[in-house]
Copies of this chain bind each other. A is one copy, B any other.
């Protein structure tokens, strides 16, 4: 059994070795699209992942072309992902108002179920209490049912889960109200966990007038509830902030996540343990993710990056939401199953093939 506390990373001067990180909410905008152009494909996304220190991407079907709700969409998703990945990945299914009877066809090829409850979602189960209850009841209890619910829909979702004493995970928490409600629910003993997109800890709508970023006071509240946050995630926020500014990049935000967090370590706001807990131990525990043998990331904790447009290997070369910021932290090398897949800007596509872990997870 893998244990991080003293052995996971060996500090030498300002470098460290940490476990391969897990992005519990990976946004792949073209997940089940029929035709995907090369710049926006799964290879581009997973290159960003390994350059960012992530060795497992858990794909949450949130977004317009990002549906995985039946066998045909599973087939298309497989076509888009199999053999194209630089890192391992996990598929998660999408609940819709109409697929309750079809979902059994894809349950063994997916891990968790996402119930879309956010008003921004193109498909939503908002106000469909009976359907939500049925999904919560039907989905294998070994995996949490995930929702992107906010406000009253968050309280409602936690209520329905609590009626069944069922584990749930709230993804992309962004506001003081929602993190406070989750804090209270945890105190009451509910089986609820949550993640916060890294961008939402470091950018507010004072930086960009974006509907995906929160107010500065919400950002502050998220930091004040850092112990309530089980996982950090990349999520869709960087993609949509870039898109709002006229730039599309499948891997937007993935490489930036760890440097942003390591900058908080440099600032004394987080410890490296805080990060490893939220990007490795908690994700593994919550989503029952198996160990990747001989998989780790070498980082430099305090290497300075003055962010310009092309500071990161795979993100947009023409625009960065972080331009002008000074970050500390650098991914030096990413190793999967004993093979170096990334080293200082160089990718080694033949070194290892990313695997779909969904079936393995399901067997565990």
Contacts and interface: CB of A to CB of B under 8 A. Distances in A.
Interface of A: 126-127, 129-130, 151-160, 162-163, 177, 180-181, 184-185, 188
A331 to B, nearest CB: 38
B127 A180 contact: no
11 contacts: A126-B152, A127-B151, A127-B152, A151-B156, A152-B152, A152-B153, A153-B156, A159-B159, A162-B162, A163-B185, A163-B188
B129 A151 contact: yes
Contact of A156 (B152, B163, B184, B188): B152
A181 B129 contact: yes
Contacts of A181: 129
Contacts of A154: 156
A152 B124 CA distance: 12
Which DSSP category, helix, strand, loop or mixed, fits chain A's interface? helix
- Residue with the greatest number of chain B CB neighbours at <10 A, chosen from A129, A158, A160, A162: A129
B162 A130 contact: no
Contacts of A157: 155
Contacts of A180: 129-130
Contact of A158 (B126, B159, B177): B159
Contacts of A177: 129-130
Contact of A163 (B126, B152, B160, B184): B184
Nearest to A187: B163
Nearest to A155: B156
A180 B130 CA distance: 9
Contacts of A130: 177, 180
A188 B163 CA distance: 7
- Residue with the greatest number of chain B CB neighbours at <10 A, chosen from A127, A163, A185: A163
A232 B284 CA distance: 51
Contacts of A163: 184-185, 188
A175 B163 CA distance: 19
Given A155-B160, A163-B188, 4 more contacts: A127-B151, A151-B156, A152-B153, A152-B156
Nearest to A184: B163
Contacts of A159: 155-156, 158-159, 162
Contacts of A160: 155
A218 to B, nearest CB: 12
A181 B164 CA distance: 12
